[in-house]
Structures are given as structure tokens and as C-alpha cells.
Chains A and B, each alone.
Chain A
């Protein structure tokens, strides 16, 4: 009788725990839904007042002025300008370092360099902003006299080193994961080590490296404090990196810091901008994850 009761108790406990843990695991899905709903509700409210075609085609963004214009293009342009500068610097440096670390460096150098690169990922973004505004911008002004105090160039350069750990470590993992048989085949045919790296290993890893760069780019367009501090608060439809601009993220911060009443149109603009940003990063992330998956599937058979 006693054992039976214990058995039943254990049985119920087991069932309860499984249900509870399942609920915990489902929280991640709930979070995604909550993001979609919370952004969507306010964004729908916004698009009821401002037609979506005006949002997408107007060339000015002045929702906080008396004459309100709601064209997101200047913010998107600013975001892509800063992120683009960052990627021009980060992609070659990141891939070079990843290739070197994965294929050519000694184990000692590797063990020393990897954690050092990871430190860059641990630095708070406000510190990057401080560095861009008070060190890089004054330094650049010595060479480029007409550079304004706020500009896209300086945060773009600093942002490159902020996303560098993402690109480097993801690419390195991918290059490392290229099956040894591919290297051996290339070397056996008489190729040198460098030829093997560039003509056999890197092409094999290319989809994974592109994935790493996409994920890095997605991080770059979502970065907030660095661009808020150093790029300025001026929505500016320009591709000139020497002018002040405003990114989508910096606009959200600007409104959040002010005293905008809940439910007003200004309050809703940050959700519309947030939704646009969310959809962009989502697209880049999914594409990146898809490419990485493809890399893994291609080499599973060989590995």
C-alpha cells in the first residue's frame, strides 16, 4: 500500500515537472509573440494616422517638429551608412584574422589572441561611444578639417571593432569545421598550404563566412548607444560620412529620453521605427542562420 502511494506520488511529480519545464521552454515562443504584438499594436495605431506609403517614401523625418513629416528613409539611410562603414572595415579584418587563427597560427598564438578579441565583445557600448566621440572624432578632425563633431564616420569606424568579435569567432568556427579530408586532398595534389587555404578551405567555408558577416551586419544596424552618442540626432538623407546623421536606434533613444506622453503619435513613432528595425534584423538573421545550416548540412556527410 505504502509503496503504491509513493509510486503514484513520484508518477504525478514526474508529470508535473515535465509540464512545468515545457512551459519554461515555451516562454521563448511567448517572448517572440510578445515582441510582435507589442510592436504591432502601436505600429498599427501609427499607420492608421500616417499612411504606410508616406512612411516609406517621404524624404524627411520630423515627427517632433511642428510641421510633421514621417518618412523613415533618412533614418534607414543613416543606419545603413554607419553599419556600411563598419562592415567595410570589419569584414576584411575579421576574415583575415579568422583565416589566420584557424589555419596558420600556432596553438599558443591562438590561445592568446582569441580571448583578447573576445574582450572587445565585452566592452559596454557606452564606452565605445565615449571613445568615438572624444578620441576618434578629434583625431579624424586633424586630418579632415571639415568633419563635424557628430558624424557617421567615427562611430562607423568604432562600430567595426564592436562587431569584429562576432565576425571573427563565427568565421573561425566555420573554417575550423571544414573537414580535414578537403585539406588533405588539396595538399596531396601538391598545393601549398596557402593555396589550400584560399582555393579549397575558404571556398568550402564561404556560405558560413557570409552567414557570419550577415549576423555581424545585423548586430551593426541594431547597435544603439555608440551611434546615439557619436553620430548625432539629425535625420539626414545623405551618404556623406562627414555629416551628422541619426540612426533608427538613436531616434528611439531620443524619444525615450524626452517626456512623450503614452498614446501620442510621437510615442507611436518609436514602435513603427522599432518594427522596421526588427523586420530588418529578422531578415538578416534568418538568412544568416539558413546559410550556416546549409554549410553544416553540406559537410555532415564528409565530416
Chain B
């Protein structure tokens, strides 16, 4: 008789506890979903505000005009040309350096204190604020190397800034190539460099390019380092050589948003939409490359 009552009490306690657990779980899930909804609505609000302000301002005139004191005549010709110019030069400088460093660390290096130092150093470089790279570029490229406030100085600065990301992405791509390929090439008498050049790199290149494009798209949206090296905000001509002064889309947009007139704010929104389209194109290219060339190894 007593034991039956005990069992019943125990059951009730267990049920109450279970109910409380269910409620806790519900609260947790609700909080998680509220967080997700807040994040999503911020993302939508950013894009919504941008397109509501800027979409109607985009026209052929806007894309092919130089900046002007009159907002309705102003355009982003020098800015988008400058952006693409800087981007290509940046890729030209950063890609060989990044791939070379990654190949060394992944394929040639021995595990010693210096390799360890380089690795720690790269993860640390990735966390340094963009504006510090701007100060580095101002001092080293603009002053010491006497490049002036040129496209080249900007590209060198952005290349150095995106190098850590490119190295990390390239190493991952190299690591994804299975060891059997290396062993097969080495067993046939190829040297280490021949193995890397003829077998490993061709297989890893799509992954490396994907990472590089993503790194470049980050770098090109960043205005801070280029403002710091002294890229101008008002350029009424196109840069002809790498030694000419230049401006880029984010700097042009910053210049317009920091003016009081709402007409300029619309211009800023329109310029930012063009910048987003450019970033979107780059990201799509990266995703295409990844899907098109992604190898599925069967080992």
C-alpha cells in the first residue's frame, strides 16, 4: 500500500520535472528564433533602406559621369573604374605571394619553430584592423617607396591586407588534394616540385581561386585603408597608369553620405548598390568555380 503511494508521488515529481524541462526547451527555442528573426530583419532593413533610397537614382548618366558639386549631375565613373583597376592589381600582387606561401607551408615546410611562427603570425595578421594596414601602406608604400597616393600604393596595401585570408584558403585547397596523388607522382620518380607543379596545383587551383575571390571582395568593400593612404574623394579623370591618383566606390559613397544634403545621400545609396552588385558578381563567380570544379575523391 505504502509503496504504491510512493511510486505515485515519484511519478508526479517526475512528470512535473519533465514539464518544466519541456518549458525550458520551449523558452530556449523561442529565444533562438527571436535572435534569428532580429538578425534577418536587420539584414532586410539594410537592403530595403538601400534600395528604397538609391534604386531610382541609378541611370546610364550616373554610371558614366564624373563626380560633381551638383548632386544630380554627379556620377561614379572614376569610382567604379578605380575599384576594378585596384582589384586587378591587388589580385596580381596577392595571388602569387599567397599561393607561394601556402605551397611552401603545406608541401615543403618541416615542422619547426619557424613554420610555427609563420602560422601564428598569419592567424594574427588576419585579426589586425584594416585601418592599421592603411597606416602601413601610407608609411611604407606612399612615403618610403615614393609611390604617392597612387593605384599601385592602394593595390599593394589591399594585397597585404588580404594575404592572410588567401594563404589560409589556399592551404585548405591544397590539403583537400588526397595524399595518394602525391605518393603516385613521387613513386613515378617526380621530384617534389614537379609533383606540386604538375599534379597538386592544377587540382587545387579552383579552391584557391574561390578563396581568393572571396578575400578580394572583402578587401574591395573596405574603404578605411585606402582613405588612410590618401586616396582622394574627388577625381574627375580616369587613372591611366598605376601611378595615377584614384578613388573607389566605397570612398565615393562615404564622401557623399557625409554631406548634409539628402540628394547626395541618394547618390551614396546608388553607388553602394553598384558596389553590392559588383560584390555579388564576384561571389557568384566564386560559388560557380567551387561547384563546377569541386572534386569528389573516391579513395
Question: Interface on A for B, CB 8 Å cutoff?
Answer: 10, 13-14, 17-18, 20-29, 31-32, 34-35, 38-39, 41-42, 92-93, 96-97, 99-100, 104, 113, 116-117, 119-120, 122-131, 133-135, 161, 164, 192-195, 215, 218-219, 221-225, 228-229, 249, 252-253, 256-257, 262, 270-271, 274, 277-278, 281-282, 284-286, 288-289
Contact = CB atoms under 8 A, between A and B. Distances in A.
B97 A127 contact: no
Interface residues of B, number: 84
A258 B298 CA distance: 59
Interface stretch (B65-73, B131-139, B236-244): B131-139
B224 interface: yes
Given A28-B163, A224-B130, 18 more contacts: A18-B104, A18-B108, A22-B108, A28-B101, A35-B128, A38-B139, A41-B139, A96-B35, A124-B275, A126-B223, A131-B49, A225-B250, A225-B254, A229-B257, A229-B258, A277-B129, A277-B131, A278-B132
B230 interface: yes
B129 A34 contact: no
The DSSP consensus for interface residues of chain A is helix
Contact of A257 (B128, B133, B227): B227
A25 B100 contact: yes
Interface in B91-116: 96-97, 100-101, 103-105, 108-109
Given A97-B39, A219-B127, A270-B135, A123 B46 contact: yes
A277 B135 CA distance: 11
Contacts of B265: 130, 134
Contacts of A129: 254, 257
A288 B253 CA distance: 34
B272 A253 contact: no
Contact of B132 (A27, A97, A135, A274): A274
Closest 4 CB pairs of A and B: A222-B129, A24-B100, A124-B221, A38-B139
A22 B227 CA distance: 33
Contact of A27 (B97, B117, B227): B97
B32 A222 contact: no
Contacts of B223: 124-126, 224-225
B288 interface: no
Given A21-B103, A192-B25, A31 B131 contact: no
A272 to B, nearest CB: 11
Contacts of B133: 35
A31 B125 contact: yes
Interface in B1-58: 21, 24-25, 28-29, 31-33, 35-36, 38-40, 42-43, 45-46, 49-50, 53
A193 B125 contact: no
B105 A253 contact: no
A120 B43 contact: yes
Interface of B: 21, 24-25, 28-29, 31-33, 35-36, 38-40, 42-43, 45-46, 49-50, 53, 96-97, 100-101, 103-105, 108-109, 117-118, 120-125, 127-136, 138-140, 143-144, 160, 163-164, 167, 191-194, 217-218, 221-224, 227-230, 233, 250, 253-254, 257-258, 265, 268-269, 272, 275-276, 279, 283
Q: Helix, strand, loop or mixed for chain B's interface?
A: helix
Given A31-B160, A126-B253, A274-B131, A21 B100 contact: yes
A285 B132 contact: no
Contacts, number: 241
A126 B254 contact: yes
29 contacts: A10-B191, A21-B100, A23-B100, A24-B100, A28-B101, A28-B164, A29-B118, A38-B144, A39-B135, A41-B139, A97-B35, A124-B221, A124-B276, A127-B46, A127-B272, A130-B272, A133-B257, A135-B46, A161-B39, A219-B127, A222-B131, A224-B130, A224-B223, A229-B254, A253-B228, A277-B132, A285-B124, A285-B128, A289-B120
B258 A256 contact: no
Contact of B118 (A17, A28, A34, A223): A28
Contacts of B118: 25-26, 28-29
A262 to B, nearest CB: 6
A25 B101 contact: yes
Nearest to A10: B191
Name the residue in B38, B160, B228, B283 with the highest tally of chain A Cβ atoms < 10 Å from its Cβ. B228
A27 B164 CA distance: 10
Given A32-B121, A97-B35, A218 B127 contact: yes
A93 B127 contact: no
Nearest to A95: B35
A14 B191 contact: yes
B101 A271 contact: no
Given A28-B118, A99-B32, A253-B228, A93 B130 contact: no
B141 to A, nearest CB: 10
Contacts of B101: 21, 24-25, 27-28
A256 B227 contact: yes
A114 to B, nearest CB: 11
Contacts of B131: 222, 224, 249, 252-253, 274, 277
A131 B121 contact: no
B73 to A, nearest CB: 21
A286 B124 contact: yes
Contacts of B228: 252-253, 256, 270
